[in-house]
Chains A and B, each alone.
Chain A
Amino acid sequence: KAGVTQTPRYLIKTRGQQVTLSCSPISGHRSVSWYQQTPGQGLQFLFEYFSETQRNKGNFPGRFSGRQFSNSRSEMNVSTLELGDSALYLCASSLVPGPEAFFGQGTRLTVV
Chain B
Amino acid sequence: AQRVTQPEKLLSVFKGAPVELKCNYSYSGSPELFWYVQYSRQRLQLLLRHISRESIKGFTADLNKGETSFHLKKPFAQEEDSAMYYCALYNTNAGKSTFGDGTTLTVKP
Q: Do A and B bind each other?
A: yes
Chain A: residues with CB nearer than 8 A to chain B?
A: 3-4, 33, 35, 42-45, 48, 55-56, 58, 90, 92, 97-105
Whether the Cβ atoms of A99 and B43 lie closer than 8 Å is: no
In the bound complex, CA of A42 to CA of B102 (Å):
8
Name the CB-closest residue of B to A94.
B46
If over half of B's interface residues share one DSSP class (helix, strand or loop), that class is named, otherwise mixed; here it is strand
Whether the Cβ atoms of B90 and A99 lie closer than 8 Å is: yes
Q: Closest CB of chain A to B102's CB: distance in Å?
A: 6
In the bound complex, CA of A90 to CA of B46 (Å):
14
Name the CB-closest residue of A to B45.
A103
Chain B: residues with CB nearer than 8 A to chain A?
A: 32, 34, 43-46, 49, 86, 88, 90, 94-102
Count A-B pairs with CB separation below 8 Å: 45
Whether the Cβ atoms of B90 and A48 lie closer than 8 Å is: no
In the bound complex, CA of A3 to CA of B44 (Å):
12
Whether the Cβ atoms of A103 and B44 lie closer than 8 Å is: yes
Q: Which of A48, A100, A104 contacts B46 (CB 8 A)?
A: A100
Whether the Cβ atoms of A105 and B43 lie closer than 8 Å is: yes
In the bound complex, CA of A42 to CA of B100 (Å):
7
Can you list 9 A-B contacts (CB < 8 A)?
A: A3-B43, A42-B102, A43-B86, A45-B97, A56-B96, A97-B95, A98-B90, A101-B46, A105-B43
**Contacts of B88 on A, CB cut-off 8 Å?**
99
Q: Closest CB of chain B to A2's CB: distance in Å?
A: 13
In the bound complex, CA of A33 to CA of B99 (Å):
14
Known: A99-B32, A99-B34. A55 touches B95 (CB 8 A): yes
Name the CB-closest residue of B to A6.
B43
Whether the Cβ atoms of B45 and A100 lie closer than 8 Å is: no
Name the CB-closest residue of A to B97.
A99
Q: Which of A3, A42, A43, A92 has the most B CB atoms < 10 Å from its CB?
A: A43
